[in-house]
Amino acid sequence: MLITFKEAAEKIKAANKILITAHIQPDGDAIGSTLALMQMLRDLGKEAQIFIDDTVRKNLHALPHFEEIRRPKDGEKFDADLIIVLDTSLDRIGNVSKLTDAPILNIDHHVTNSGEGVELYVEKRAAATCEIIFKLAGELDAQITPEIATCLYTGLATDTGFFQFSNTRAETLAAASKLITYGVSPHFISEQLEKKSLAEVRGLSAALNSLKMFYGGKVAGMFINHETAKTFDSTEGFIDEIRVIETVDVAFLITEKAPKVCRVSMRSKGVNVAQIADKLGGGGHIRAAGCTLKTTLDEAEKILVKAIGEAL
């Protein structure tokens, strides 16, 4: 059920012990928004704890209070009177859903989030969930510390491709500018996020060697098999290396995370890849989306290329 921004804020004000979570395979916006909200709520005198049911890539570990993020254990329970799910729909939070039966508040900016079965505040024009959390700070009368500002800026920067993507609005840049006045060091964040391990660089090389072109050069795809994928923890930025090819409208990367478990990332210049991802059980933005296909790498290629072709 869709609710208003003020209604979402009132639900947070009324809660005292809050569990915060975001999606598996968390990105800068997921981690930035959860860490920022946790700190805001604690500063307001509430108990707040983050659970993420996945590993987090190393270049996000430098964010303030990252070490306090917990991963749920089998059979674990957490006493809460509210769950806040950020940057995703409920189907992507993994085993966090088993921790408590508390009411759920979902805050997101993805166009594919229908909020079925929960109370949802979705701001589809927002470039990132961190943009919503920044606005929420004002509604909650929460202080923006340099640590909170750093987390929020990270989400804005990553979800806009450092303010290069089409989702960058005047309001997004205004929020980023304001966060800098609160103590953000943009160069520190960009340096942290650009770091790659030697294994990741070698993985990028393998991905580029797998490059295939489809539909007369309109679509470019890369493929990482399980043996290569298990040697590093992130493919962040890989897809951008082929998105820039002049003839390409849709670029994709399929990573075989485990046998018969393939994670798909898509970027586009014109095609609505969120609709493609939605049909395949995923979601995301109009120009950046993804999904998981539980099949072999070869079969995942056939399924995805066919779906993209139908959308072209």
CATH number at residue 56: 3.90.1640.10
Q: What is the distance between the alpha carbons of residues 22 and 305, in angstroms, rounded to a whole number?
A: 29
What percent of the chain lies above the pLDDT cut of 90? 84
Residue 113 confidence (pLDDT) above 90? no
Are 273 and 130 found together in one domain?
no
Instruction: Write down the pLDDT at residue 98.
Output: 94
Instruction: Write down the pLDDT at residue 116.
Output: 76
147-159 mean pLDDT: 97
pLDDT (tens digit, 9 = 90+) per residue, 224-241?
999 999 888 789 889 999
Instruction: Write down the pLDDT at residue 284.
Output: 84
Q: What is the distance between the alpha carbons of residues 35 and 13, in angstroms, rounded to a whole number?
A: 18
Residue 256 confidence (pLDDT) above 90? yes
Are 211 and 179 found together in one domain?
no
Are 95 and 203 found together in one domain?
no
Are 18 and 64 found together in one domain?
yes
Instruction: Write down the pLDDT at residue 91.
Output: 86
69, 58, 288, 257: CA torsion to nearest 10: -90
Residue 79 confidence (pLDDT) above 80? yes
Residue 131 confidence (pLDDT) above 90? yes
Q: Which domain holds residue 305?
A: 198-311
Single residue among 167, 193, 219 that ends a domain in this structure:
193
Residue 114 confidence (pLDDT) above 80? no
How far separated are the first and last CA of the chain, in Å rounded?
A: 32
At 223, phi and psi to the nearest 5? -140, 130
Single residue among 141, 168, 193 that ends a domain in this structure:
193
Instruction: Write down the pLDDT at residue 293.
Output: 96
Q: What is the distance between the alpha carbons of residues 290 and 301, in angstroms, rounded to a whole number?
A: 14
Q: 3-class SS at 108?
A: strand
Are 91 and 217 found together in one domain?
no
Are 169 and 69 found together in one domain?
yes
Are 63 and 50 found together in one domain?
yes
The pTM of the full predicted model, rounded to 2 decimals, is 0.88
Least-confidence region, from 107-116, 224-233, 288-297, 299-308: 107-116
CB 303 within 8 A of CB 295: yes
Distances (CA, A) of 194 to 28, 53, 128, 139, 263: 12, 24, 19, 33, 22
Are 129 and 36 found together in one domain?
yes
Are 226 and 94 found together in one domain?
no
92-119 mean pLDDT: 91
Pick 283 or 300 by higher pLDDT: 300
Are 217 and 166 found together in one domain?
no
Instruction: Write down the pLDDT at residue 109.
Output: 94
Question: Model confidence at 72, in pLDDT bands (50, 70, 90)?
Answer: very high
Q: 3-class SS at 288?
A: strand
Are 164 and 205 found together in one domain?
no
Are 188 and 203 found together in one domain?
no
Ranked by mean pLDDT, which of 6-20, 100-114, 115-129 comes out on top?
6-20
CB 21 within 8 A of CB 84: yes
Instruction: Give ∠ CA 218-159-202 in degrees, rounded to 5.
Output: 65
54-79 mean pLDDT: 94
Single residue among 166, 193, 220 that ends a domain in this structure:
193
Structural domain count of the chain: 2
CATH of residue 298: 3.10.310.30
Residue 117 confidence (pLDDT) above 80? no
42-46 mean pLDDT: 97
134-146 mean pLDDT: 97
Instruction: Write down the pLDDT at residue 285.
Output: 84
Least-confidence region, from 23-37, 141-155, 273-287: 273-287
Q: What is the CA radius of gyration of the chain?
A: 19
**Average pLDDT value over all residues in the chain:** 94
pLDDT (tens digit, 9 = 90+) per residue, 158-192?
999 999 888 999 999 999 999 999 999 999 999 99
Instruction: Write down the pLDDT at residue 232.
Output: 84
